[in-house]
């Protein structure tokens, strides 16, 4: 883990500790292990994948602890929960993470991030025009990978259909 990541992990641990104390929740090593695992990742992940990854890396943790900790981290604004498509819930770290938007492939479910300053400009303009304070936004664009789509690699008969 590099020093920037270590610094962020320490900051989020401190924020999480304050959140747990304020909400009279237990401060368990397992909860902190989930938090640290999330903040060493650079992807969108589902709860089950996180659980399996932690178990495969010798963490003695229950599935329920992973799921419950994710909900606490969402409530603490340290993790963002996304509903991408039909019954697809993915998470990503939120602290120190710049506003961004998503492209989601409907075939392989790959999630790609992008940031376009024109979206921020539009958001500011609309807020001013409608006298509305916009605190955050979510933009998800759905379509098909044109390059390295995992679904199309496994199902080559669909290559010309997308």
The CATH number for 34's domain is 1.10.10.10
Residue 31 and residue 108 in one domain: no
Range(s) of the domain holding residue 132: 99-162
Residue 60 and residue 136 in one domain: no
Residue 110 and residue 92 in one domain: no
pTM strictly above 0.85: no
In the block, residue with structure tokens 């943790």: 61
CA 155 distance to own-chain centroid? 28
- Of 56, 71, 97, the one marking the end of a domain is 97
Residue 93 and residue 119 in one domain: no
Residue 98 confidence (pLDDT): 75
**Number of structural domains found in the chain:** 2
Quote the percentage of the chain above a pLDDT of 70.
93
Residue 121 and residue 159 in one domain: yes
Q: Are 41 and 93 in contact (CB under 8 A)?
A: yes
Q: Which helix (H) or strand (E) holds 71?
A: helix 63-75
Count of alpha carbons within 13 angstroms of residue 8, beta-carbon side: 18
d(CA 56, CA 14): 27
- Of 56, 78, 97, the one marking the end of a domain is 97
Q: Using CB atoms within 10 A of its CB, is residue 82 exposed (0-12), middle (13-18) or buried (19+)?
A: middle
Residue 19 and residue 50 in one domain: yes
Q: In this predicted model, what pLDDT tens digit does every residue of 4-45 receive, in sequence order?
A: 889 999 999 999 999 999 999 999 999 999 999 999 998 889
Q: In this predicted model, what pLDDT tens digit does every residue of 65-87 receive, in sequence order?
A: 999 999 999 999 999 998 877 77
């Amino acid at each position: 883990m590099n020093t920037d990541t270590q610094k962020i992990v320490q900051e989020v641990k401190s924020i999480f500790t304050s959140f747990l104390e304020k909400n009279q929740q237990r401060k368990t090593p397992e909860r902190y292990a989930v938090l640290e695992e999330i903040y060493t990742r650079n992807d969108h992940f589902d709860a089950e994948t996180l659980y399996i990854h932690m178990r495969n890396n010798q963490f003695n943790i229950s599935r329920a602890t992973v799921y419950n900790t994710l909900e606490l981290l969402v409530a603490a604004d340290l993790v963002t929960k996304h509903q991408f498509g039909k019954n697809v819930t993915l998470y990503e770290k939120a602290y120190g993470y710049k506003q961004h938007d998503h492209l989601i492939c409907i075939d392989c479910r790959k999630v790609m991030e992008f940031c376009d300053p024109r979206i921020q400009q539009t958001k500011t303009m609309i807020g001013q025009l409608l006298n509305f304070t916009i605190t955050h936004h979510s933009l998800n664009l759905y379509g098909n990978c044109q390059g390295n789509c995992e679904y199309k690699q496994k199902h080559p008969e669909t290559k010309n259909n997308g």
